[in-house]
Amino acid sequence: MASLSRLDLRECLQTLSVLQWLPVYIFLGMIPVFLIPYFLVFTKFWILSVLALAWLAYDWNTHSQGGRRSAWVRNWTLWKYFQNYFPIKLVKTHDLSPKHNYIIANHPHGIVSYGVFINFATEATSFARIFPAITPSVGTLEWIFWLPIVRDYVMSMGVCPVSGLALKYLLTQKSAGNAVVIVVGGAAEALLCRPGASTIYLKERKGFVKLALKTGAYLVPSYSFGENEVHNQETFPEGTWIRFFQKIFQATFKKILGLNFCTFHGRGLTRESWGFLPFNRPITTVVGEPLPIPKIKKPDKTTVDKYHALYIDALRKLFDQHKVQYGLPESQELTII
């Protein structure tokens, strides 16, 4: 009975660790958005708002200049519960030498990119032990860093804007041993996410290859098997009123926040119930062999296309070598659009 209680408690803590994720971001974001103007205009504590805004102005460029990470935050026990909820695993196929910098390109995006978050923005899967002397930085949307408190929270985990300025700084202005992690398909790829699917946006995504050539950073393919399995996504039939409104919401979210509005569902607070939590299905991020890239100040289209093709070949090879081991049928192919 005691063993059963411990098991129930562990599962409860794992569920809460995932459940807190989005509400915490929203709560932390809303505090400064509402309280700073309120204190500034309606209370005698206006000086607090002035100090907060002064700090934000002073610290404005930090997120684009290497950020401010915290080993303490990355090692929170909370992330271990989060990891074990699925569970999430990080697999190394080749060493990454600390003598070079790297762009770790990840696929697919999924609804939320749980695998990328846990494996590279926390130490829940022991990234520092698996890849010693390599410092990972996960790229995300830049507007997140416009929000006081939220920006400090995400920077503490080693998250940076997925902008040319921030990524180039990490790959050129700091010493070797840095790895920027980019989910190449971006938010648009979330709309392709559904169980059983292995479709990614990559054919015209060449900016990361151009960045690698300009900085001399090695390209590293990685694939998160199971990322598309943890939510079910609904795309309503064309011509229906609900599809009409779905398209409007998707276009609005994309324009304002750079996010795609996905109509998805998963499990509820219990495994058998319906809700928006992800299903308890394993996610395994496999990191492939680094592809050496020459440093070229102004790479031409032919050179970019050449290394883009080499990267696609390396990614297909990684996918085919590991797909059966991590739950996909032998006949499954990686579809690139």
Residue 258: inside a domain, yes or no?
A: no
Residue 267: inside a domain, yes or no?
A: no
- Above pLDDT 90, what percent of the chain? 70
Answer whether 198's CB lies under 8 Å from 319's CB: yes
Count of domains observed in the chain:
1
- pLDDT of 3 strictly over 50: no
Cα-based distances in Å from 333 to 131, 272, 275, 317? 29, 31, 30, 11
| Mean pLDDT, range 316-329, rounded to an integer | 97
Alpha helices in the chain (DSSP H): 2-19, 21-42, 46-58, 71-74, 77-85, 114-121, 127-130, 150-156, 164-172, 207-215, 241-257, 301-322
Among candidate residues 192, 190, 181, 218, the one with its CA nearest the CA of residue 334: 192
Note the pLDDT of residue 309: 98
| Mean pLDDT, range 64-71, rounded to an integer | 96
- pLDDT of 128 strictly over 80: yes
Note the pLDDT of residue 1: 42
**Six token digits for residue 68:** 């401010």
Residue 287: inside a domain, yes or no?
A: yes
- pLDDT grade for 5, boundaries at 50, 70 and 90: low
Q: Using the structure block, give the residue that is written with the tokens 């929170």.
A: 76
User: Beta-carbon neighbour count of residue 94 at 10 Å?
Assistant: 10
Q: CB neighbours of 21 closer than 8 A, spacing ≥ 6?
A: 82
Residue 268: inside a domain, yes or no?
A: no
Q: What is the helix (H) or strand (E) element at residue 86, kind and residue range?
A: none
User: Beta-carbon neighbour count of residue 31 at 10 Å?
Assistant: 14
Residue 113 carries which DSSP code? Answer: -
Domain hosting 105: range is 1-231+278-336
Residue 257: inside a domain, yes or no?
A: no
DSSP secondary structure string, 3-67? Answer: HHHHHHHHHHHHHHHHHTHHHHHHHHHHHHHHHHHHHHHHSTTHHHHHHHHHHHHHTTTGGGTT-
Q: Is the peptide bond prior to 299 cis by the omega test (within 30 degrees of 0)?
A: no
The Cα 193–Cα 308 span in angstroms is 23
Among candidate residues 84, 30, 102, 33, the one with its CA nearest the CA of residue 291: 102
Sign of the dihedral defined by the CA atoms of residues 269, 275, 280, 282, in that order: negative
**Among 37-46, 157-166, 308-317, which stretch is predicted with the lowest mean pLDDT?**
37-46
**Among 23-27, 30-34, 320-324, which stretch is predicted with the lowest mean pLDDT?**
23-27
Residue 265: inside a domain, yes or no?
A: no
Residue 173 carries which DSSP code? Answer: T
- pLDDT of 4 strictly over 60: no
Answer whether 102's CB lies under 8 Å from 177's CB: no
The CATH number given to whatever domain includes residue 149 is: 3.40.1130
User: Beta-carbon neighbour count of residue 210 at 10 Å?
Assistant: 18
The Cα 22–Cα 18 span in angstroms is 8
Residue 62: inside a domain, yes or no?
A: yes
| Mean pLDDT, range 127-149, rounded to an integer | 94
Q: Is 216 helix (H, G, I), strand (E, B) or coil?
A: coil
| Mean pLDDT, range 266-295, rounded to an integer | 94
Residue 10: inside a domain, yes or no?
A: yes
- Above pLDDT 70, what percent of the chain? 97
